[in-house]
Structure 1
Amino acid sequence: MQSITLQAPAKVNLQVRAGPLRDDRYHDITLVYQAISLYDTLTITYQKGVTINISGTQSERIPTDDANLVLKAAKALGAHVGIEPQLHFDLVKVIPTQAGLGGGSSDAAAALVGCNILWGSNVSDDDLMAIGARLGEDVPFFIMGMMALGSGHRQPLVSLQAGAHKWNWVLGVLSAGLSTKEVFEKYDQLSGQMGSAEEYAINRQRCIGISWDIHPQDLTSALVNDLEAPSVELLSEIDVALRAGKKAGASASLMSGSGSTCAFLAKDEAHAKDLKLELQQATVFKDVLLASGPVEGVRILHEQK
């Protein structure tokens, strides 16, 4: 096989529950992931050396050196199977960067899946997920896709029953992004107002006990993000965006991940289209996108032999 092209989905977090900073400098965290139908495209081709070309949405904000997650993923898998990567990566971005939608992690997952197939390495999905976990907390989810429960740093994901119900989303993309590191630093600064370890434990158990396979309109009260408050402190436009969604008639408005994208739940596809038109009038958004979930994780689009 000479090349392979893959689709890498975005995600929204239906719930984010965070605890205080631990002694190991990580936070207890519980997340519910849902893969959604917004995709980057990654093509991997044999060549001498390792290079990457990035085009599309906010491509200028993504490094093309050794800091790039796609290159890190290829080298990590190569080290695992004893292969020196000799590849060119062509990444077309649609998922906004530093937006809480997991684009970088999904691209890394696509590199793992694609290189595994291209090299004929036969590394299992479980092992790919373990390699991905060393690259970023969200990477394993994009190999799995659909819906899953995450429990923090290098903890295994638990697949969730998605049911037959479709979630219709309108995504409000802001001009400015937020790094996960700065959001958690602000969270720690606000920790006195954000709740105790005991409160986190209660919230975590409530999250685990939710049946996520029922109709989305019956789950609106469960859509909660503990990182919203610190993110709003860093970027006040998030609060403006969330209020715009509520005013426009969204069933629920929440920030995805550590921000800055805001996700608005619609009742159905027609409502989503109407909601998109309404939100496009709000000056706070750089772009307004439609997506739905849950969808599969990284998938193959094309193989060339």
Structure 2
Amino acid sequence: MTSQAETVTVRVPGKINLGLSVGPLREDGYHELSTIYHAVSLYDTVTVQPADDWSVHVTGPWGDRVPADASNLALVAARTLARRRARRAKVDPVRIDIDKNIPVAGGMAGGSADAAAALVGCRELWALDHIENDMLEGIAAGLGSDVPFLLHGGTAIGTGRGEQVTSVLARGELHWVLWAGEDLSLSTPEVYAECDRLREEAGTVPGTPEPSGELMAALRRMDTDAVADALHNDLQDAAISLQPVLSEALAAGLDLGARGALVSGSGPTVAFLVGSQTEAIDLSVGLAANGPHGDIVRATGPVPGAQVVHHRNSPEPYRALPTPHRPGPPGPVTG
């Protein structure tokens, strides 16, 4: 067993859903889903270190929107892993510091990302060599539907309620411009409820959700225009119904030259697909000048999931969870 580190810092990306098909409501209260996850280079940084008591501290552009109490999902993740470890030996509490750059309640799984980072960081901090990847993924699935994907990152199909993850081969990279409205947030349960209401109103009965063959084929070729044509999100109409400014943002980005656009997940972050870094810069500038007010970030994908980037007092390199995808460089923030 390796010796315990004093601090471990983990970088974890946000995600967008390139395709999201929502099926019927299940007996457990979740909807059956088929989604294609895509991790992008917009990162939270999570640092864990031993402490006398459990605590979480949040800074960064979105830090004031994150709970710093026992409900924080990163803290819940750490304590859950500690209980699993307690079957063998007691571990010390940790202080968790989160630098929050992924929008909160924005459809990019920022809370789930922090939970994934806490699991990876605490496993390293506590030298939990016996906690294998499959076991960590099982713990992650119990914390939230998006947490297992963010352990790995890349591009992947999510089924069930999203927690059953299978990697997708997607060579190359895609360029994105992400728009997040200021003081704009959506509750995931609220968006799903609105989706159900709109379907009932329209007399639509959802079938079994399946991944889009067109989108899968486009990703295998990493054909930007084909991916753009295949983007879809069954929750988009519901998100727009609750926050009509999203329609304005989508229209503005497409008018300014985006190849494709969609609301990410339950929203309200809007993801615009472009063909290059130059196009991303041009669209960022255009949105800042002519679109609805919001934070604008350039990003690339796919990128790996939660990875240790700093490990004090350990000469051993971190063994990341496997991913078949080549990372893209992080994009600069604009706007």
Q: 2:278 aligns with which of 270, 292, 296?
A: 270
Q: 1:91 aligns with which of 74, 77, 98?
A: 98
Deviation at 1:127, TM superposition (A): 1.3
Whole-Å Cα distance in 1 between the matches of residues 73 and 117 of structure 2?
10
Partners of 1:228 and 1:69 in 2: how far apart? 26
Instruction: Judge conservation of contact 1:133–1:154 (CA < 8 Å) in 2.
Output: no
Contact 2:7/2:312 (<8 A) preserved = yes
**Offset of 1:194 from its aligned partner?**
7.5
Q: Is this contact kept in 2: 1:7–1:40, CA < 8 A?
A: yes
The residue type paired with residue 12 of structure 2 is A
| CA-CA distance at 1:207 after TM superposition | 4.5
Q: What is the CA distance between 1:130 and its match in structure 2?
A: 1.0
2:216 aligned with 1:210, yes or no? yes
**2:110 match:** 103
Does residue 162 (structure 1) correspond to residue 170 (structure 2)? The answer is yes
Separation in structure 2 between the aligned mates of residue 209 and residue 295 of structure 1, nearest angstrom: 18
* Deviation by residue 1:146-202 (Cα, 9 ceiling, x = unmatched): 011001327521111011x2100000111211010100111111123384233xx3x
Q: 1:145 & 1:55 partners in 2: Cα distance?
A: 23
Once the 2 structures are TM-superposed, how far is the Cα of residue 241 of structure 1 from its aligned partner? 0.7
Change (3 A) 1:154 1:14: closer
**Residue 286 of structure 1 is aligned with which of 274, 294, 301?**
294
1:31 matched to 2:30? The reply is: no
42, 66, 74: which one aligns with 1:62: 66
- Please say if residues 75 and 84 of structure 1, whose CA atoms lie closer than 8 Å, have aligned partners that are also in contact: no
* Contact 1:172 1:285 (8 Å CA) reproduced: no
SS in 2 for 1:33: strand
2:240 maps to 1:228: no
Say which SS state the counterpart of residue 290 (structure 2) adopts. Answer: coil
CA positional deviation for 1:29: 0.9
Q: 1:304 to 1:286 in 2, by over 3 A?
A: same
Cα gap change, 1:24/1:5 in structure 2, threshold over 3 Å: closer, same or farther? closer
Helix, strand or coil at the partner of 2:216? coil
Count how many residue pairs are aligned between Structure 1 and Structure 2: 301
Matches within 5 A, 1:132-281: 132-153=140-161, 155-163=163-171, 165-175=172-182, 176-192=184-200, 193=202, 195-198=204-207, 201=208, 204=210, 206-207=212-213, 210-211=216-217, 212-214=219-221, 215-281=223-289
SS in 2 for 1:281: helix
1:299 aligns with 2:311: no
Runs of 4+ in 1 over 6 A off after TM superposition: none
Partner residue, 1:12: 16
Q: 1 CA distance for matches of 2:274 and 2:215? A: 24
3-state DSSP of counterpart to 1:172:
strand
- Percent of pairs with identical residues: 36
Conservation of the 8 A alpha-carbon contact between 2:36 and 2:157: yes
Contact 1:134 1:154 in 2 (8 A): no
Distance 2:288 2:133 in 1: 40
AA aligned opposite 1:268: S
| Cα separation, partners in 2 of 1:124 and 1:271, compared to 1, 3 Å | same
- Deviation string 1:50-92 (CA, Å, 9 cap, x unpaired) is 1111001221111111110010000111111114441111111
Per-residue deviation at 1:206?
Answer: 3.5
Q: C-alpha distance in 1, partners of 2:92/2:189?
A: 30
Q: Is the 8 A contact 1:15 1:224 kept in 2?
A: yes
**RMSD across aligned positions (CA):** 1.6
TM-superposed deviation, 1:24? 3.2
C-alpha distance in structure 1 between counterparts of 2:199 and 2:241, whole Å? 13
- Change in CA separation of 1:26 and 1:194 when aligned onto 2, cut-off 3 Å: farther
Find the aligned partners of 1:223 and 1:88 in 2 and give their Cα distance.
40
Q: Distance in 2 between matches of 1:304 and 1:228?
A: 43
Give me the whole-angstrom Cα distance separating, in 2, the residues matched to 1:145 and 1:205. 18
**Residue 86 (structure 2) pairs with residue 79 (structure 1):** no
Contact persistence 2:147–2:163 (CA under 8 A): no
Shift of 1:25: 2.0
CA 1:85/1:75 → structure 2, altered by over 3 Å: closer, same or farther? farther
From 98, 116, 124, the equivalent of 2:123 is 116
- Corresponding residue SS for 2:145: coil
Shift of 1:209: 7.8
Alignment partners' CA distance in 1, 2:110 and 2:189: 16
| CA distance in structure 1 between the aligned counterparts of 2:69 and 2:213, rounded to whole angstroms | 39
Change (3 A) 1:28 1:72: same
Amino acid corresponding to residue 261 of structure 1 in structure 2: T
After TM superposition, the score normalised by the length of structure 2 is 0.86
